[in-house]
Structure 1
Amino acid sequence: MNPLIALEAPFAMHEAKLELDELLTMLVELGGSDLHITAGIAPCMRINGTLAPLAGRNKLAPVDTETLIRSVISEHLWERFDKTQELDTAYAIPGVSRFRVNVYRQRGAVGAAFRAIPHKIRSLDELGLPRSVEGFAHLTRGLVLVTGPTGSGKSTTLAALLDVANQTRSSHIVTIEDPIEYLHSHSRSVVNQREVGSDTADFAIALKHVLRQDPDIILVGELRDLETTSVAVTAAETGHLVLATLHTQSAAQTVDRLIDIYPPHQQTQIRAQLANCLQGVVTQALAPRKDGMGRSIVCEIMVATAAIRNLIREGKVHQIPSFLQSSADAGMLSFDQHLAQRFAEQLVSKATALELAHDPNEFKRLARL
């Protein structure tokens, strides 16, 4: 065999890895959140919420995207991708960042999205979250949900909450993630992080077994289905603090979504269970800053007071928004209230605020427009 032919593929992969590492390093240096590699367009980066192709870069052909992506994926993971056509994994560049990676096929070509995950876990104050959020990290039991659309910083908020617990409590923390994003070292707590696909088959199986691992705090990457949700609620009822995410855009919608996961004949029961075990919901979004310097977090905070629990139990979830606005003394905050604060602080423009507001008329009233 010609030795040049034998060396050609490894050399191409090495060059591709260097090129992809360069792109990912550039993403971090520019303060971007996502890198998209897809055929028919130059590599694209999302910076301050806006996605655009890199200037001066050539369009990628299908062979280019596959070579770039495959250069950072191990052989056994690539074999799994070949079978399922989907892959969630993580990749790290030492000294730069970790990245959550989703690999997929589109029109027969391979594409991937890389989400930057900083090595340093930012504090709740650095993230701009209200101080009442920290209280959820000190709870001994119950269900706490961090919700919002994709890319709204849910994982970052959960990591900050876990870090508070890790630094202040002597607990056993178990995370179940797909993939592992932020890395937590042992501090006052013992932290075990399990990745779906490599450390466990799926969320539901891991949750069933985690109760035998003497956990105090359980983080579930996402409540995706009835089985996962049911086990998470049971864990919260039996004396564990369970943290999880959902793709909902308000506290009331979050409660409705949890109930709607269950079949109709079980919904009365789950209302009673949630009324007992739900401790709080943090719903968040990232709004482009008025000065163009990044994005500012806007959130809604619901604390499960006796009044909130009663609304859930009686099926009066639609009344939750009015309770949020009038319960600041309990640490609650409506989304439009926080948005009005951000507008008053000159962090968010009027146009952006009106676009994001849950109720534009209510926002105008709060912002005195």
Structure 2
Amino acid sequence: MNQPPRPSVPPLPPLPNNPAGRPASSIRQESMAPETQFMPAPPSIGQPQPQHRPPTPNLPTSPPAPSHANLGRSPGQPSLEELIRSAFDQGFSDVHLGIGEVPRMRDRGEMVPLRYEPTDQQTFMSWLREILTEDEIQRFKRELEFDGAKQYDFARIRINVLESLLGSAMVLRIIPLKILTLEQLRLPDILRTVSDSHKGLILVTGPTGSGKSTTMAAMVDYINKEHAKHIISIEDPIEFVHQSRRSLIRQREVGMHTLEFDNALKASLREDPDIILIGEMRDRSTVNTALKAAQTGHLVMGTLHTNSAIKTLERILTLYTAEEQPAMRTAIAESLVAIVAQGLCRTTDGKRAGFHDILINTETVKDYIRQGKYDEIAELMEDGEYDGMITANQSLFNLYQEGRITEEVALEMAPVRNEMAMRLRGRT
């Protein structure tokens, strides 16, 4: 479908704190819309400082730019690229923007307000025009929701635009272009062994913002370097971008490279894959197809929003009726390789560390899954260090013993606080 041409925007001159005249980062449109076009974002000119961090000297204020360069922003408001670059440079994970609200960023789990005036309609719309085409903006106005992803030269961003009581808002998740390795993330060694599996189902679970995608990307990157496989991913939207190495990797985004998630997943079985990466195990149909693929000789990797390995099993089974559950328990027992439940906690050096609840599907675990004996599985995890299993409480306690987290953090994040308190008392 033809789209009306955009008015041309004159190029921007270098700003005072950009003597090299770095060109504006180009944004590659990779949203859900099949028809896309792009508009260059203005160059970054600084970083707003979060309030809770130690004060640093203020950056020099640039003179007001011409109105055409501000893209309609109100005076004193930054460009969207400035905000995104600031979040990326300071290690923040998300940017929250909304009409009538002060811009905020998420710093290791906490929301940090920035030193800007509340966002007005004019500024918010200018930010939308930096990253969305006019067609995408109109689609958001019709549907009141928009999901997509864009790429700058320094990071990718996952975009969600929404309507709220105060007006339009958006949340931007910052995704580094560089994929960290299993070693750099200090993930358990068992994940390397799990990634070497030739078939079966691997689930990486955890709440939103727990690093599931980062862990999954590190596992896929390991496979890509070590094994000659064909990997197909189906994501909504694509987050980490992989380049084929020993493996051939094909990444598909729902709405851009396929119209329907379920259709793409079913079609992937006919595309000669060795590994199928599913962005999220979202419903019964997805679980059915994933189990079928795992049972027919493929390795399937997917995510779920659950807090522990045991709750992951229970969550999957709630998708089925009581009459169907015995057959599904058998299917899961035969297909499952591992469940890796993950959380993030603050460390003593001001960063974040992952803690894990890992279930490895040994022969004994298979029997317990078939019988629905989840309490016995939990006991096996407590004593399954030899097989690579660990509970979240054990993982947190290990971080405490290493001096990486405080006693308060260990208690706060522990799924079983009484048991953690007993561990800590035994330690002291």
For residues 37-93 of structure 1, what are the alpha-carbon distances to aligned partners after superposition, in whole Å with 9 as ceiling and x for unaligned? Answer: 1122221011122112112x1111233223212321123332332332211111221
Q: Distance in 1 between matches of 2:230 and 2:141?
A: 37
How many residue pairs get aligned? The number is: 362
* 2:202 corresponds to 1:144: yes
Contact 1:154 1:245 in 2 (8 A): yes
* Separation in structure 2 between the aligned mates of residue 137 and residue 35 of structure 1, nearest angstrom: 32
Q: Is the 8 A contact 1:133 1:301 kept in 2?
A: no
The equivalent of 1:212 in structure 2 is 270
Question: What residue number does 2:411 align with?
Answer: 354
Question: How far apart in 2 are the matches of 1:53 and 1:246?
Answer: 30
Alignment pair present for 1:39 and 2:99: yes
* Displacement after TM superposition at 1:267 (Å): 1.1
Q: Give the C-alpha shift of residue 137 in structure 1.
A: 1.2
Alignment of 1:237-252 (within 5 A): 237-252=295-310
Specify whether residues 10 and 136 from structure 1 end up closer, same or farther in structure 2 by C-alpha distance, changes over 3 A only: farther
Q: Distance in 1 between matches of 2:379 and 2:68?
A: 62
Over the aligned positions, Cα root-mean-square deviation in angstroms equals: 2.0
Q: Give the greater-gyration-radius structure (CA).
A: 2
Alignment of 1:251-330 (within 5 A): 251-291=309-349, 293-330=350-387
1:119-176, CA deviations, whole angstroms, 9 ceiling, x for partnerless residues? 1100111112111111121111000000001000000000000001111111110001
The residue aligned with 1:190 is: 248
**2:128 corresponds to which of 64, 69, 75:** 69
Trace 1:164-183 onto structure 2 (pairs within 5 A).
164-183=222-241
Q: When the two structures are superposed, what TM-score results if normalisation uses the length of structure 2?
A: 0.81
In the alignment, structure 1 residue 91 sits paired with structure 2 residue 164:
no
Equivalent residue letter for 1:320: I
Amino acid at match of 2:139: R
For residue 18 of structure 1, report the CA deviation from its aligned partner.
Answer: 7.2
TM-score when scaled to structure 1? 0.93
The runs of at least 4 consecutive aligned structure 1 residues that moved more than 3 Å come to 5-18
Give the counterpart letter for 2:292 in structure 1: T
Give yes or no for contact 2:72–2:122 (8 Å, CA) kept in 1: no
CA distance in 2 between counterparts of 1:14 and 1:320 reads: 59
Q: Percent identity?
A: 36
Distance 1:220 1:10 in 2: 43
User: What is the one-letter code of the residue matched to 1:59?
Assistant: P
Q: Distance in 1 between matches of 2:135 and 2:196?
A: 40
Unaligned runs of at least 5 residues, structure 2: 1-6, 10-65
* Counterpart-to-counterpart distance in 1, 2:232 and 2:336: 19
